[in-house]
């Protein structure tokens, strides 16, 4: 292997298909942590080692190691789970995690605060409900997104089935997960192989989404690989395939940037898996294994050129892309409350603040959802905006479910659109990447912005505002009309210019602002918007027309320019 590859590559190569010394690390009672190499490998098994950063210094003063715990992220293609599965998830969250569930922008749930010796119990627990966490994190294809589309129920079923198939097809084949967590039998080394990934897997994480226009709630262009459903007569005919999107960037490194996926072209359904595999293996073979910050597919495509990349995929898949079909996306948010689907069933979308489901005085969300799961006959769908849909409710159950939701504070009546559309990542105190607050601070911050919109007479402004604690982009902040990207404690980069549909990146407007200056700047911007915006003009479009930021059309060249 090339001597210049980064350390993670070496760890993967020596891991014997993701086993490493995880078994020894788990058995080591001397520390709540894993050995450093196993920390990297554990991601492929679906969990991240974290520590409570609020306690870090204090514990060191007490000669105690950090308060290590693990965040475990399940694989839940399209975010769909049954009430029975929900009850298991809920039970584990209360007994083996920190008493909360965290819904994510990748349409899955995370457990936080799992202790090392409880990891096995968590994984075995979800496994009994037929859920796994393989590739929840790590350098493989992650949880596949799919528009939850409750109204077009038949189309959703078809599209969701494809999301599931793609997820299964791109799963690692190693038995390490079963061996380590499910007490599966050990497999002789020679038997093991990874036909798609090889022994070093991908150079970096890989994200896939399936969108159903006109809704772009999955932010399909923010993914390494995207499938845009093309329906004919209410049935799925094929997909426009897009590739090379991704959010992550590094502060101060202008060779890194968020990027939107490019169109590869239209394919019929029978080619979906071959194309997905070809994109993955191309990235496997051409991706950068020296610099992890340049290892996502977006940089591979920039380096190869889109046409060369498309040709490579076509060659590997044995498919020719047809020209992409025209599609129109109109928004990337969720619609709250009840809707009735084509099949006559009802669907209730609940607003979950920052995706955190917990019991608090007056808002007993965890309890409420448990009670709903006990009587619900349809399914639960986690949305890419970190919300939750109680889907497929029969007319007979509708009022009962509504009253449970109301009693437990799950109906978000009276919230502003700004709040309902906002997204914040987890950040402090558990996320090791965080440089600034997000989830804990976001609700207060929104209240301050709401005061500004009120001050400028903007009423219930339709505005997408997203906040992350670091530039890696879990809340997809670079697609927001107002994006706040954590730079340091209490300081954020202010990004402007998303289009409210997830089809245009925003751009840096002011750097490293503390709250006071941030609010001062937003005050001025909203004032100008209030005075000068055209009829129906979105804030994100206004800032470009007014020349406050230049539109990002070609991220590699425009984003930092």
Residue closer to another protein by CB (options 429, 514) is: 429
Rounded to the nearest whole angstrom, what is the least distance from the CB of residue 67 to another protein in the complex? 7
Rounded to the nearest whole angstrom, what is the least distance from the CB of residue 30 to another protein in the complex? 5
Contacts of 442-450 with CB under 8 Å at 24 or more apart are 442/354, 442/467, 443/353, 443/354, 443/419, 445/484, 445/515, 446/416, 446/418, 446/419, 446/422, 448/515, 448/519, 449/418, 449/519, 449/522, 450/416, 450/418, 450/419
Residue whose structure tokens are 């226009």: 213
Q: Count interface residues toward another protein (CB under 8 A).
A: 12
- Cβ partners under 8 Å of residue 506, min gap 6: 477, 478, 479, 480, 481, 482, 483, 495, 496, 497, 498, 540, 549, 552
Residue closer to another protein by CB (options 32, 93) is: 32
Determine if 122 is a binding residue for another protein (CB under 8 A).
Answer: no
Which one from 142, 259, 466, 501 is the annotated catalytic residue? 142
Q: Hey, is 492 helix, strand or coil? A: strand
Determine if 32 is a binding residue for another protein (CB under 8 A).
Answer: yes
Determine if 193 is a binding residue for another protein (CB under 8 A).
Answer: no
Name the phi and psi angles at 529, rounded to 5: -60, -45
Which one from 12, 116, 207, 298 is the annotated catalytic residue? 207
For another protein, the binding residue among 56, 59, 292, 398 (CB under 8 A) is 59
Determine if 53 is a binding residue for another protein (CB under 8 A).
Answer: no
Determine if 523 is a binding residue for another protein (CB under 8 A).
Answer: no
Rounded to the nearest whole angstrom, what is the least distance from the CB of residue 111 to another protein in the complex? 18
Which one from 81, 137, 215, 425 is the annotated catalytic residue? 425
Which one from 106, 116, 205, 284 is the annotated catalytic residue? 205
For another protein, the binding residue among 7, 23, 31, 269 (CB under 8 A) is 31
Determine if 64 is a binding residue for another protein (CB under 8 A).
Answer: yes
Instruction: Give strand pairing partners of 29.
Output: none
Residue closer to another protein by CB (options 122, 272) is: 122
* DSSP H or E run through 13: helix 7-13
d(CA 516, CA 528): 19
Determine if 268 is a binding residue for another protein (CB under 8 A).
Answer: no
Rounded to the nearest whole angstrom, what is the least distance from the CB of residue 180 to another protein in the complex? 21
Residue closer to another protein by CB (options 12, 112) is: 112
Burial 454-488 (b: 16+ CB within 10 A, else e): eebebeebbbbbbbbbbbbbbbbbbbbbbbbbbbe
Determine if 70 is a binding residue for another protein (CB under 8 A).
Answer: no
3-state SS record for 257-323: CCECCEEEEEEEHHHHHHHHHHHHHHHHHHCCCCCHHHCCHHHHHHHHCHHHHHHHHHHHHCCCCEC
Catalytic, 205? Answer yes
Comparing CA positions, the residue from 440, 534, 551, 523 lying closest to residue 486 is 440
d(CA 135, CA 77): 12
Rounded to the nearest whole angstrom, what is the least distance from the CB of residue 56 to another protein in the complex? 12
Determine if 311 is a binding residue for another protein (CB under 8 A).
Answer: no
Q: Hey, is 463 helix, strand or coil? A: coil
Stretch in the footprint of another protein (CB under 8 A) among 37-45, 58-66, 205-213, 419-427 = 58-66
Catalytic, 425? Answer yes
Residue closer to another protein by CB (options 28, 450) is: 28
d(CA 47, CA 33): 12
- Cβ partners under 8 Å of residue 63, min gap 6: none
Residue closer to another protein by CB (options 50, 147) is: 50
d(CA 365, CA 211): 28
Return the structure tokens found at 147. Answer: 């528009």
Rounded to the nearest whole angstrom, what is the least distance from the CB of residue 469 to another protein in the complex? 25
Catalytic, 43? Answer no
Beta carbons of 69 and 430 less than 8 angstroms apart:
yes
Residue closer to another protein by CB (options 32, 384) is: 32
Comparing CA positions, the residue from 382, 405, 377, 404 lying closest to residue 392 is 377
Show the binding pattern over residues 476-505: x = contacts another protein (CB under 8 A), - = does not.
------------------------------
Which one from 73, 204, 345, 370 is the annotated catalytic residue? 73
Catalytic, 474? Answer yes
Which one from 345, 431, 487, 504 is the annotated catalytic residue? 431
Rounded to the nearest whole angstrom, what is the least distance from the CB of residue 54 to another protein in the complex? 13
d(CA 198, CA 17): 9
Which one from 204, 470, 501, 504 is the annotated catalytic residue? 470
Strand order in the sheet with 337-340: 80-81, 379-382, 388-393, 346-350, 337-340
Return the structure tokens found at 227. Answer: 């499938």
User: How would you classify residue 167: left for phi > 0, otherwise alpha for psi between -120 and 50, otherwise beta?
Assistant: alpha
For another protein, the binding residue among 29, 183, 307, 535 (CB under 8 A) is 29
Q: What count of Cα atoms within 13 Å lies in the side-chain half-sphere of residue 345?
A: 20
For another protein, the binding residue among 30, 328, 457, 547 (CB under 8 A) is 30
For another protein, the binding residue among 5, 16, 65, 560 (CB under 8 A) is 65
Q: Hey, is 421 helix, strand or coil? A: helix
Catalytic, 207? Answer yes
Determine if 124 is a binding residue for another protein (CB under 8 A).
Answer: no
For another protein, the binding residue among 62, 233, 323, 361 (CB under 8 A) is 62
Rounded to the nearest whole angstrom, what is the least distance from the CB of residue 542 to another protein in the complex? 51
For another protein, the binding residue among 57, 60, 255, 447 (CB under 8 A) is 60
Determine if 67 is a binding residue for another protein (CB under 8 A).
Answer: yes
Q: Residues with catalytic annotation?
A: 73, 142, 205, 207, 425, 431, 470, 474
| Contact footprint for another protein (CB under 8 A) | 29-32, 59-65, 67
């Amino acid at each position: 292997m090339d001597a210049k590859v980064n350390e993670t590559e070496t760890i993967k190569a020596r891991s014997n298909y993701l086993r490493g010394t995880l078994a020894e690390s788990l058995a080591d009672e001397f520390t709540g942590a894993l050995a450093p190499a196993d920390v990297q490998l554990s991601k492929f098994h679906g969990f991240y080692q974290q520590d409570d950063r609020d306690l870090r210094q204090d514990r060191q003063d007490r000669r105690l190691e950090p308060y290590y715990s693990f965040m475990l992220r399940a694989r839940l293609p399209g975010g769909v789970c049954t009430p029975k599965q929900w009850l298991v998830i809920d039970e584990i969250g209360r007994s083996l995690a920190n008493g909360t569930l965290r819904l994510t922008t990748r349409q899955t749930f995370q457990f936080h605060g799992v202790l090392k010796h409880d990891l096995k119990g968590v994984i075995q627990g979800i496994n009994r409900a037929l859920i796994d966490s393989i590739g929840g994190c790590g350098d493989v294809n992650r949880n596949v997104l799919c528009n939850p589309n409750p109204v077009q129920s038949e189309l959703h079923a078809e599209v969701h089935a494809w999301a599931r198939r793609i997820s299964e097809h791109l799963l690692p084949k190693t038995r390490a997960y079963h061996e380590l967590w499910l007490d599966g039998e050990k497999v002789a080394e020679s038997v093991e192989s990874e036909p798609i990934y090889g022994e070093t897997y991908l150079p970096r994480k890989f994200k896939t989404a399936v969108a159903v226009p006109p809704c772009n709630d999955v932010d399909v262009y923010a993914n390494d690989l995207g499938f845009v459903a093309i329906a004919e007569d209410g049935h799925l005919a094929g997909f426009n395939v897009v590739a090379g999107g991704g959010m992550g960037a590094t502060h101060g490194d202008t060779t890194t940037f968020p990027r939107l996926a490019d169109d590869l072209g239209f394919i019929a359904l029978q080619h979906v898996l071959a194309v997905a595999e070809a994109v993955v293996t191309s990235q496997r073979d051409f991706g950068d294994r020296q610099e992890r910050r340049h290892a996502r597919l977006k940089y591979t495509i920039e380096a190869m050129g889109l046409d060369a990349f498309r040709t490579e995929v076509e060659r590997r898949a044995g498919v020719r892309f047809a020209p992409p079909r025209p599609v129109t996306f109109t928004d990337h948010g969720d619609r709250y409350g009840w809707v009735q689907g084509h099949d006559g069933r009802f669907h209730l979308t609940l607003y979950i603040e920052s995706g955190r489901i917990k019991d608090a005085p007056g808002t007993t969300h965890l309890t409420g959802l448990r009670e709903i799961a006990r009587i619900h006959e349809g399914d639960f769908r986690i949305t890419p905006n970190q919300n939750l849909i109680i889907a497929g409710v029969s007319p007979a159950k509708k009022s009962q479910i509504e009253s449970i939701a109301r009693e437990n504070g799950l109906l978000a009546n009276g919230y502003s659109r700004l709040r309902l559309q906002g997204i914040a990542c987890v950040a402090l105190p558990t996320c090791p990447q965080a440089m600034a607050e997000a989830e804990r601070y976001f609700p207060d911050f929104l209240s301050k912005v709401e005061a500004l919109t009120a001050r400028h007479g903007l009423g219930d402004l339709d505005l997408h505002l997203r906040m992350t604690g670091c530039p890696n982009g879990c809340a997809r902040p670079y697609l927001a009309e107002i994006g706040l990207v954590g730079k340091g404690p209490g300081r954020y980069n202010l990004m402007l210019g998303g289009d409210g549909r997830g089809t245009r990146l925003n751009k840096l407007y002011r750097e490293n602002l503390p709250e006071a200056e941030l609010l001062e700047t937003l005050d001025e911007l909203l004032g100008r918007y209030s005075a000068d915006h055209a009829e129906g003009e979105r804030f994100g479009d206004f800032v470009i027309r007014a020349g406050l930021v230049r539109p990002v059309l070609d991220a590699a060249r425009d984003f930092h320019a």
